[in-house]
Every structure is written in structure tokens, then in C-alpha cells.
Chain A
Amino acid sequence: MIPHKKVYMYGGYNTISLGTGRKEFNPKKARPGIEHYLKEAGQGVLKQIGGAKNVDDGVIGNFMAARFNNQANLPGFLPMVDEGLSMKYGTSVEGACGSGGLALQTGIRNILSGSDVTLSLGMEVQNTVKAIYGADILAGAGWYQKRKAGHAYFFPGQFSERAGAYFEKYGREKARKGMSMWYHNAITNARLDPTAQEYHNTLPNPYETCMAMEPNGRVFVDNLNFLDCSKVSDGASGIAICSEEGLKKMGVDKSDAVEVVSFVQSVRDITKDPTDLTELEAIKYAANKALEDAGISVHDLATAEIHDCFSIAGILSVEALGLAKPGEGCDYVYEGNTARDGVMPINTSGGLIGWGHPTGGTGVHQAVTIWQQLTGRAGDYQVNIPKDRPYGMTINMGGDDVTISAIVYKRG
């Protein structure tokens, strides 16, 4: 869709993504809960926009606090972030790992329906249970009727099947090279962002390490190794979504914000298996619709944030976007095109594999990264934004290609 009036995003904030890999993470010690993350991310945004008085409404994207943290009724936490949000409109949205994207979509729709400033937050705190039990909870992103027949690690199992189909159709060796290069880029980018979960990663050659780690179905899944997967993360991100009026109220110049050029949200029937395991059809639809609505081609993008919950999802998204033909996404990545100095830098702060994947927070984190990149705020992980390609894009996915948000941005 094309917004019928100007919609901007500004004031993005990320907490760290906490989990294995971060030096401060100790599974045996107590860790901050959802309150901490919502407060830090929410207040991080409010500080940049003149406080809660400028905010009309709030939305929290979250997937499974009801099980990870035994907590529902999340809108009630907005006034905890800042009492200035008390008695204001607040809601929460859920679409599995696409919940953060829904928080953005909801914010955009709030502005289009008359609000001036929405505080959009995305949050997940998942280290409350061991991975084997976390897998149960995350499996909620799939159709429960299929859980019994699914893998112990349900989602890695789903995407392992996709990887297996891709291996068979296009060749295992070149696919694994592309997937390992995806991991390499994720790690080297994450090392530039102090909030990233892999910020402390010191592997001398992530590509080699990933290539050398053969998938082992006896202990995990058949076609993915651990490095092909995003980790378990605690974290939150926030951003203000606003109208032109909203920007004025906040005293922010347009050029410091990003403008939403187009936004698409689309869903695929969760009860149906993918038609073709080697294609992400809902992502393909949403991403291309967003580009079409924006009136641009994929080659007009300076950078994109892609939902790489698994390296294979990254490769398939590259193909869905049309950056490479089916079966050639792995080569495109292997050749360095998506690296930070490549023609199309993707996931410049590490993406889900490098930065981390606090599931309900990821969609918002993606928007924060694009805002930082397009407005020159990305610090050490800043990439070049060519003048003739001023656009950025985020693609957030819930479940196995089910709940998709795709948004095109440019500097305001």
C-alpha cells in the first residue's frame, strides 16, 4: 500500500540482544525480565522525541510472553514505560516472529487514521527456558496440528526441509557455501554493533567454521548446523512512527527521519504446506508488492533487512526479492554481493543470526537499522547509501512464510 499521507519513523532504539555469545550472559544467573527490556527500549525512544507527552498511542509487538514469561495483557506495560502513556490508547499485536513487523504496520495505520505519534515496541525474553523447551514455545508459530509429526526442534526442522529440497534441486555444496557466507557476513557485521549478540564473537574465519560444521540429524536437524540458525535472544527495540505534524511536535527535522514509501502486510494460510519448499511465496508476494507500490525496482535499494532466522531463509529471500534467479541466491551471497561492501548490503548490523532474534522484537529492530543507515546514524556499521539508490527495505516473517511485513523507506 501507498500511504495516503506522509508517515515517518524516527528515534529508534535497541537494547542489547542477550543470549549465548554475549559476555554478560550467564545461564545460571538471574536475568532482567520483560519489564526491563520494555522500559529500556521505550524510554530510549521517548528520550529522543521529547517525552511521552508527544505520544498519542502505543503498540507492543510480542510473540509468546504468555509462555516464555507467563505474562499476557501486554498493553498494560506501556504506562509502566512512562506514566505519560497512562490512560492513552495501547494495544499489542502477535504474528509469531513477525510480531515486530505488525507493530510497525499497526503504527503506520494509527498515523493514517489520525494519530500523530505512535510508540512502536517489539520485545521477546526467551532465555527463561532451555532451548529444548523453547522449541515447544516457538513451534506455536506453526500449525499445532502438525506439531506431533514435527521435529523436536520444530522450526529448525521446517527450514531444514527447505534446505534439503534446495540442496537436492540446486546442489548441496554450492548451497552450503552460500549459507556459510551468509553466516560470515552476519558475524562480521554484528561485530560492528555493540548491541549485537555476536558482538563479542572472535572466530577467525566464520565462513570456514560454518563450512566445517557438518549438519548432523542425530543431534539436531539433517540439513542445518547450529550456525545456520539464529540464536535464543532476550531483547527489545522501539521506534516512533509519526505524521508530519508529529515530527513538528517532536521538533525533528524530516531529514533526520525516514519516510514510509510503501507498506505491505500479507498472510499465507498456516494450515497449508508451502507449494514449493525452495520458494518463499508470501515473502516474494509482499516484497515485490511493496517495491511495485513504491514504484521502484529492487536495484534501487541501497540496503535491506531480511528475515534470516535461518541462513537458508536468507538465501531464499534474496531469490524472492529478485536479486538472484531461483537456485542462484547462494552464488549471489557467496560472491559477496550482500556483504557490507557488496552491491546490496543486507543485514548490516548482523541480522537475526548476527544481531540476534528476540522474536517479537526483530521486526522493529529491522526498522531501527534502516532508519540508522538512511540517516547516517549507523556508526561503525554504516554502509554507503548511494545518491541514486536512496531506498531501504525491511522484510519480517512470522512462521514458515506465513505472516509477512514488507516496508520500503527513504530518507525524509
Chain B
Amino acid sequence: MKYEERLQNVTVLGAAGKMGSGILLLTAVEMADLSLQPENKDKTFVLNAVDVSDEALHGLMGYLRTQVRKLAEKKTVALRAMYADRADLIENYHIIDEYIFDVMNIVRPVNGMEVAYNSNIIFEAIKEDPALKVKIFKQINENSNVEPWFFTNTSSIPITELDEKAELNGNVVGFHFYNPPAVQRLVELIRAKNTKDEVNDFALAYAKKLRKIIVASNDIAGFIGNGHFMRDALHGMLEAESMVDDFGGYVNSVYAINKVTQDFLVRPMGIFQLIDYVGVEVCSYIMSVMNPNLDNEDLHSTLLDKMISQGITGGQYSSGAQKDGFLKYEKGRPVAIWDVNTKKYVDIAGFSADVDAKLGAMPTSMKPWKAVNFSKKKDASLEAIFTEMNGMSGKGVEIAKVYNKRSNEIGRLLVDSKVAANDADVNTVMLTGFFHAYGPINNYLK
């Protein structure tokens, strides 16, 4: 079966979720572009958007229309060529409107899974629950009228486990997009022990068409991205818990670690904000999926357990707005911190000056992540910042040094334990999947 034939019938499971909607958008556009090629004009392309929530599917179609319009406006030059034979489509807006229709016309929003029985490709982006994934894969595979290939977006569950338990016979591969899939260029590709070559080849071809950066990860729970992030997050939480006395209270300490990880380490967001972004509950869940697969390590946070028991979950609203978690947000900016002891949010403004003073000075060459990361002189800026920091002392600088050392260790652990093939792959994942300005395996801080 050729590439475009295989893409003639596809299903996205969990299509209205945060990851699913992005995967649906990218796949719908890729399928529409194929359908517009002269040799495919008489073929029908079907993309089933399966989700349990009708309400979410309703929102999904609106999201899709808005996003496809944006994409179409950006690639109108190419679209004019694709519609060159359509005499009735003259102006840009004729062409853009037609393209939006052509993409939307491929998508079938539905909340029953039976439609997947005719699909050659199943993209799965449902809850990170191994038993649920196995159950659904098995059901589709047993009832399918074709021999479907499964592309799972799991960020932590070993693919071999899914393959074996669902009896997929190697027709599965880990295809892990980063959030949001339409923007983030990284895809972690994970082969199970028995993943067939043709499945892997298709995954590579598809990723290439989507202009994604592919990093292959070994099939070890958490892979590269979460392999780093979860350990890094655990370190941050343990640091915060251990420094309560140093900073004069729990919320002060959380604030301090969040600030050091964002500002001193020149990262796009502090570690607690990142946990909130991914979701407090999701992080805890990912750790629990990874932990049984790890030797000599306990990847588990009692602080996350406490947060969840107090009903603080983080994550995002369907609008994309950030839900409150460790931090409380106003217009996307942290304004308060959840105190697990008093079960209340405490305003940052009330103690930040005191904690800032305790953290001490930042290097004079310091610039925010945004200014560094998108600059042509990024490497020189980082060199200057960290060289200066190496000659400094102060609480903030010391925490940053320990933090970077731990991040470094985690990176090397991923290579040593053969999750990643080499240092460069670890760094690529953190640079492109997490938007870090520099990789964890670095020589910046001594």
C-alpha cells in the first residue's frame, strides 16, 4: 500500500483533546494536500475524529476552521498553484475558503469507535492509561476490516507492552508529538521490539511531510522527553521541600525554585509552571507509569500526591488558558502560590522581594529566555551569562548550579541507560520539545 493509499482512511482517537486536536489538524491538512494532487483527485479521503465528548467535538470543529484558515493564509502562494485548474477560484479569498472546505470535508467528527474499523492508520491520543489503550487497540484490531497500524502518542508507556498486550503483531509505533503538536516541531519516534519496518518507514515519511524533527528514542518508559522532565521536576520539588526553612516558608521556597529554574537557568518557564502546564495530575500519572520500569530509582512525588488530594490539578482549559496548579495565574502570569499547609493561594507580591533578596544577584549579563533563545548570538549570550555565574556565589546561583548539575546527570543517565542513542539526541529533545535555550548535557556551569 502506497503512502497516500494508507492515508485515505485514518482515525484519530481522542481527537478533541489538547494533543488529539493538533494531530487531527496536521493530519487533515496532510490528507487534504494529498487529495488535491492531480493523481488523487478521484479518491476519497476520510479522517475520523473520534472523541467521547460531543461538546469537545463541537469545539474541535471551530478550532479546526480557525487553524486551517491561518495555515491557508500562510501558504496561499502554494494553494494558488494547487487550485490552478479551478477557473472559478480567482481571488485569494476564494482559494482560502475552498481550501478550508476541502480540509473540513475530510473530517468526520463522531463519538463511536466503530468508524475506526475501516482505517489503515489509527492515531491514538487518549488518556495516558495503559489498560485503556490496550483495550481499545485490541477492540479495533480484532474488529477491523483492514490491517490497521497504530500510532500512539503516549509519552511514557513502553510500546512493546502495548504491542504485546493488545496483540498488535508489530503494527504499532510510538509517535510522540509535543504540545501543541501544530507548533512544536519535535516528534519522538519509539519502535517496539517487534515494530515492523514498514510501519516505522511510514512514520518517518509522514513526519517528514509534516516537517517534524524526529528523534528516535528507545522503548524505555518515559522515553527521552519525560525521562528528563519527570526527574528534573522531581528534583525541583524535592529542592523546594528541603529549603522551606531557608526561605521562610513553603510558598516562599516554591517561588524561589520556580524563579531560579526560569530566570537563573534561562528557561522558558520555571519548573512549577511547567508542571502546571503539563498538569499536576498528568505528571503524577506519568511518573506512576514510568516508575515500575525503573531500576534503582523511585520516581514518585508525595508533594504531587498531596496537591491532587487537595483538588489542585493544573493543566489547561479547552480554550488553552492555564488552570491554576502550584501557581495561580492571571492573564497567563503567576500571581500566587498554593500553600499545601493552609490550602490557600498566597499572593506572590507579599513575599517576592524578601525571597529575591535571599536569592541574591543574577549575573549582569543576564537576559530573559526569550531574548536569548531567539537571538542569533544565543551561544555567546549563554556563554557570557554562565561564565559570569561561575564566578559568583549567592543562594540563587548555588541552587542553579546544583540544578544544572542534576539536569546534566539526568541527560547522561538517559544515554547510559540507552534510552537515547547519544548526547545530541537528548539535547535536541530538550531544545525542540521543551524550547530550552541549551541542552541538559552542557559544560556551562561548574
Contact = CB atoms under 8 A, between A and B. Distances in A.
A143 interface: no
Contacts of A293: none
A89 interface: no
B357 interface: no
A219 B77 contact: yes
Interface in B64-116: 73, 76-77, 79-80, 87, 90-93, 96
Contacts of B96: 132
B77 A147 contact: no
A132 B87 contact: no
B76 A152 contact: yes
User: Mostly helix, strand, loop or mixed at chain A's interface?
Assistant: loop
A148 B76 CA distance: 13
A130 B93 CA distance: 11
A139 B96 CA distance: 16
Contact of B93 (A136, A148, A217): A136
A151 interface: yes
A148 B73 contact: no
B73 A132 contact: yes
Contact of A148 (B77, B79, B87): B87
A133 interface: yes
Contacts of A151: 77, 80
A203 to B, nearest CB: 15
A135 interface: yes
Contacts of A152: 76-77, 79-80, 92
A132 B76 contact: yes
Contacts of B77: 151-153, 217-220
Interface string A274-300: 000000000000000000000000000
A132 B90 contact: no
Nearest to B81: A152
A133 B92 contact: yes
B296 to A, nearest CB: 51
Interface string A125-149: 0000010110110010000100110
A148 B90 contact: yes
Nearest to A136: B91
Contacts of B73: 130, 132
Interface size class of A (residues with CB under 8 A): 10 to 19
B444 to A, nearest CB: 30
Nearest to A140: B91
Contacts of B90: 144, 147-148
Interface residues of B, number: 11
Residue among B73, B91, B96 with most chain A CB within 10 A: B91
A147 B91 CA distance: 7
B91 A139 contact: yes
B375 to A, nearest CB: 16
A361 B76 CA distance: 29
A218 B78 CA distance: 8
A217 B81 CA distance: 13
B93 A133 contact: yes
Nearest to A218: B77
Interface in A176-232: 217-220
A130 B91 CA distance: 14
A132 B76 CA distance: 8
A153 B91 CA distance: 10
A43 B84 CA distance: 48
Contacts of B92: 132-133, 135-136, 152
Contacts of A130: 73
Nearest to A150: B80
Nearest to A217: B77
A155 B444 CA distance: 50
A132 B79 CA distance: 12
Contacts of A217: 77
Interface string A313-335: 00000000000000000000000
Contacts of B91: 136, 139, 147
B377 to A, nearest CB: 15
Nearest to B96: A132
B286 to A, nearest CB: 36
B132 to A, nearest CB: 41
A218 B80 CA distance: 12
A67 B289 CA distance: 58
Contacts of A136: 91-93
A132 B93 CA distance: 8
Interface in A347-402: none
Interface in B331-352: none
Nearest to B87: A148
A130 to B, nearest CB: 6
Interface in B109-143: none
Nearest to B89: A148
B436 to A, nearest CB: 28
A51 to B, nearest CB: 44
A327 B257 CA distance: 64
B87 to A, nearest CB: 7
Contacts of A139: 91
Interface string B196-229: 0000000000000000000000000000000000
Nearest to A220: B77
A133 B92 CA distance: 6
Nearest to A137: B91
A152 B92 CA distance: 6
Nearest to A131: B73
A209 B14 CA distance: 47
A135 B94 CA distance: 13
B431 to A, nearest CB: 24
A151 B80 CA distance: 8
B69 to A, nearest CB: 10
A135 B79 CA distance: 15
A173 B80 CA distance: 30
B41 to A, nearest CB: 19
Contacts of B76: 132, 152
Nearest to B77: A152
A260 B77 CA distance: 44
A144 B91 CA distance: 10
A220 B76 CA distance: 10
Contacts of A218: 77
B146 to A, nearest CB: 37
Contacts of A144: 90
A134 to B, nearest CB: 9
Given A130-B73, A136-B92, A147-B90, 18 more contacts: A132-B73, A132-B96, A133-B92, A135-B92, A136-B91, A144-B90, A147-B91, A148-B87, A148-B90, A151-B77, A151-B80, A152-B76, A152-B77, A152-B80, A152-B92, A217-B77, A219-B77, A220-B77
Interface of A: 130, 132-133, 135-136, 139, 144, 147-148, 151-153, 217-220
Interface of B: 73, 76-77, 79-80, 87, 90-93, 96
The 5 closest A-B pairs by CB, nearest first: A152-B76, A136-B91, A152-B77, A132-B73, A148-B90
24 contacts: A130-B73, A132-B76, A132-B92, A132-B96, A133-B92, A133-B93, A135-B92, A136-B91, A136-B92, A136-B93, A144-B90, A147-B90, A147-B91, A148-B87, A151-B77, A151-B80, A152-B77, A152-B79, A152-B92, A153-B77, A217-B77, A218-B77, A219-B77, A220-B77
